[in-house]
Amino acid sequence: MKLIEIISSYNGLEYEVNVYRRRDLNDDVGTPKVLPDISGHKVRAAKVCRRTRVEMPGVHTFYDGSLMLQPLAVATGIDVDKVNLVVCQFISLPLAFVHYKYLAANKVSRTYFHPLSASFSAISAMESNAIKHLLSNIAISFALMHLSPPEYVHKCVFLFSMGYLVFIHWYRWYILTTYSIDVTGPMMVFVQKVTTIAFSLHDGRVKKVEELNEIQRREALSSVPPLLDYLSYIFHFQTVLTGPICFYSDYMKWIDGTNAIGKDGKIEKQWQAVVSKLLQTSIFALLIIRFGTQFYPEMIAEPKYLSWSSFAWSALFFAVIFFQRIQYYFAWTLADAICNMSGLGFNGYDSKGRARWDLVSNVDIIAVELATSLKETVDSWNCCTMYWLRRVAYDRTPQRYRIVATYMLSAVWHGFFLGYYITFLTGALFTVAARTVRRCVRHHFQGTLFMRRLYNLITFITTKIALAYATFPFVTLHLNPGLFIYKRLYFSLHILALLAIFVLPIILPPESRKQDKSRLSPTKTSNDDVKKVQ
């Protein structure tokens, strides 16, 4: 499937959309096209630029990877960048097994333990010339860790590495205008890693122990990591392509072979977790193959579907957003299985004494799908990135600016597509509104079991509506058709959120914090301020 930029018009409103359509790879490039009537009227395409080695200046900055799998890409109708990514991830599975079986810490010295070669080979297949940007970012960041004063090392590394990423995002957005899998993905993960090391250095060298929270004390570093350890941490093959981030202290425990020692002093086995996650990955892959291309996000804004009844159109809206989530479930669950296969990911035991292999899990699928609040959804989605945002932004920003600062950093980290900013600003608004509603309304539903269940049902439905509404601009990337859909819905949820923040407390005064605390069991405490980093 080829992502084509088109200009469409509906009811006098022009908006830019991406639609998935097959096109002959031998078509002329750079000539205006008149596409089929896919939305009830003629659509004039802008000049179509394919990702090639000739037509688009600057493309080598982002993607100049292996074309060995081009025949498979043509046969399946999937872009070669996506084919390369999936194939590299599946190759990582046997590599992870070999690593666990033959390169474990108790079998070889640490000098040979660091899996650099596999990482570089995977990146070369994906990025080729673009690897220069990855190397430049981590090399200069490493130099800054040595040269910067301890009081400012976290700021220097953060400003440089994020600045480099912002430049890449901007240049890529300016040149390519559409999304593709390229150097920016690994660059985003690398930025997370180098900044967490820098903040850990600052905490370990400058702050007193009593000034640090539990997570900061655990991650604090008194010296810059050795070069080999640093490179190994940055480039380890399990997470180098799609993440998620594994924090340095957890990675070094894996290197030393102390990460998975169980209650009886023996190494916990990961096979049950690996099999379970591979089965989940297979199900997600089948769903994507069967339904993924049928539910593309832009269809929500096409007149053909806008003419449906409100109920049918809303059901389609939810289905589209659901199948967008499935793609993330596939990538993150596969990456999690790769980590577990290599022995990385043990995270203690649950309340029933069962081993947990979720240290580097990036999503809690059941929690996302059954969440009764936006906070539960956010806490269970892209978990490792949320923990990184907490480490470098939320915990270090004045309380009144925490939510906005965290959401804005997340938007900038993702890139320059306007859809990201609409989604994250909407998410920040909804988060504040949800907190206000909870304080003003929840205590009225705690009298009986029926009322509590009714409250949970209402918040579950509301969360799913808010999630679909807020994330639509994110999955379409651009200002439109997200803005077009918001206008069609009269910005209704934005207005309701503002009313909840400013009017609801007047109508239903919130329960005092003292009364709210009295409802809690003495043995229970809130973890809103300090959340355990996976």
User: For residue 7, what is the enclosing H or E element?
Assistant: strand 2-10
Q: Which of 133, 202, 236, 414 is catalytic?
A: 414
Whether residue 459 lies inside any domain: the answer is yes
Q: Which of 84, 137, 340, 382 is catalytic?
A: 382
Of the pLDDT bands very low, low, confident and very high (cuts 50, 70, 90), residue 56 is very low
Do 19 and 151 lie in one domain? The reply is no
Do 45 and 87 lie in one domain? The reply is no
Whether residue 359 lies inside any domain: the answer is no
Instruction: Provide the residue range defining the domain that includes 10.
Output: 2-50
Do 41 and 175 lie in one domain? The reply is no
Do 86 and 208 lie in one domain? The reply is yes
Is residue 382 flagged as an active site residue?
yes
Reported as a single tens digit per residue, the pLDDT across 209-219 is 888 888 899 99
Do 86 and 168 lie in one domain? The reply is yes
Structural domain ending residue among the three candidates 256, 287, 315: 256
**Residue 262 pLDDT:** 79
Do 141 and 231 lie in one domain? The reply is yes
**Residue 64 pLDDT:** 55
Reported as a single tens digit per residue, the pLDDT across 386-426 is 999 999 999 999 988 898 899 899 989 998 889 999 999 99
Whether residue 341 lies inside any domain: the answer is no
- Has residue 24 got a pLDDT over 60? no
Average pLDDT of the residues in 179-205: 89
Do 95 and 28 lie in one domain? The reply is no
Structural domain ending residue among the three candidates 197, 230, 256: 256
Reported as a single tens digit per residue, the pLDDT across 348-390 is 888 888 889 999 999 999 999 999 999 899 899 999 999 999 9
Of the pLDDT bands very low, low, confident and very high (cuts 50, 70, 90), residue 530 is very low
The C-alpha atoms of residue 242 and residue 126 are separated, in whole angstroms, by 11
Do 235 and 91 lie in one domain? The reply is yes
Average pLDDT of the residues in 340-347: 92
Q: At what angle do helices 402-414 and 418-441 cross, to 10 degrees?
A: 150
Whether residue 17 lies inside any domain: the answer is yes
Whether residue 469 lies inside any domain: the answer is yes
**Residue 82 pLDDT:** 75
| Lowest-pLDDT range of 24-38, 383-397, 516-530 | 24-38
- Indicate the average pLDDT of the chain: 80
Residues 6+ apart with CB under 8 A from 85: 126, 181, 241, 242
Do 129 and 249 lie in one domain? The reply is yes
H-type helices in 342-417, by residue range?
365-370, 374-380, 383-392, 402-414
Average pLDDT of the residues in 276-305: 91
Of the pLDDT bands very low, low, confident and very high (cuts 50, 70, 90), residue 185 is confident
Three-state DSSP state, 10: strand
| % of the chain at pLDDT higher than 90 | 48
CA distances from 41 to 8, 22, 37, 124, 455 (A): 9, 19, 5, 44, 45
Do 95 and 241 lie in one domain? The reply is yes
Give the total number of structural domains in the chain.
3
- Has residue 496 got a pLDDT over 60? yes
Of the pLDDT bands very low, low, confident and very high (cuts 50, 70, 90), residue 287 is very high
Of 16, 256, 59, 286, which Cα lies nearest the Cα of 172?
59
Do 143 and 12 lie in one domain? The reply is no
- Has residue 314 got a pLDDT over 90? yes
The C-alpha atoms of residue 486 and residue 472 are separated, in whole angstroms, by 10
Of 394, 410, 392, which Cα lies nearest the Cα of 196?
392
Whether residue 346 lies inside any domain: the answer is no
**Structure letter (DSSP) for residue 13:** E
Structural domain ending residue among the three candidates 256, 273, 299: 256
**Structure letter (DSSP) for residue 486:** H
Three-state DSSP state, 208: coil
Whether residue 190 lies inside any domain: the answer is yes
- Has residue 325 got a pLDDT over 70? yes
Do 161 and 234 lie in one domain? The reply is yes
Residue predicted with more confidence, 90 or 507: 507
